[in-house]
Amino acid sequence: MYQLFRSLAYIHSLGICHRDIKPQNLLLDPETGVLKLCDFGSAKHLIKGEPNVSYICSRYYRAPELIFGAIDYTTKIDVWSAGCVLAELLLGQPIFPGDSGVDQLVEIIKVLGTPTREQIREMNPNYTEFKFPQIKSHPWQQVRYVI
């Protein structure tokens, strides 16, 4: 994971967002242990104020702001995706296995709790559908470590 975050730090320092971080886009040399980030087909140089498409990134690794339809996102979406990959390594399965965008959001809410209106506005100021069930975040003190 260190190598993944180093590669993200490098491309992010250049203003490039990969926009499709997932296990299938990580190549690991079994002899040297060197990890390489691949498939830059969705990558983009992000420019503040320039709109981007929100339907990007593979579903299980899609950041909440993308699900909310944000078009002014940052490289933070790659960090979210990398966190999902890390969780998948620890759990042995995707942490947010939704079947659709809405289902994906429900899976995220089950773990992190219902976002506040303020949090939703930060992700996408134009989002107007504020009808979510109030779900408390997962009681992390009860989570067992899978190591």
Domain map of the chain by residue range?
Answer: 2-142
Per the prediction, the chain carries an average pLDDT of: 87
Predicted local distance difference test score (pLDDT) of residue 32: 97
Write down the pLDDT at residue 81: 98
Specify whether 78 is catalytic. Answer: no
pLDDT of residue 122: 80
Which of these is catalytic: 20, 39, 78, 99? Answer: 20
Please tell me the predicted confidence (pLDDT) of residue 113. 83
Mean pLDDT throughout 25-42?
Answer: 97
Q: Per residue in 81-137, pLDDT tens?
A: 999 999 999 999 999 998 988 889 889 888 888 888 787 778 777 776 655 556 566
Q: According to the model, what pLDDT value does residue 2 have?
A: 96
CATH level 2 (architecture), domain 2-142 = Orthogonal Bundle (1.10)
CB atoms within 10 A of CB 113: 14
DSSP 7-59: HHHHHHHTTEE-----GGGEEE-TTT--EEE---TT-EE--TTS---SS-S-G
Q: Which tops the pLDDT comparison, 63 or 136?
A: 63
> Would you give the DSSP letter of residue 92?
S
Q: What is the mean pLDDT of residues 34-62?
A: 93
Cβ of 103: how many Cβ atoms within 10 Å? 13
Q: Give the mean model confidence (pLDDT) for residues 41-50.
A: 94
pLDDT tops 90 at residue 68: no
Task: For the full predicted model, state whether its pTM sits above 0.95.
Answer: no
- Structure confidence at residue 147 (pLDDT): 41
Cβ atoms < 10 Å from Cβ of 31: 6
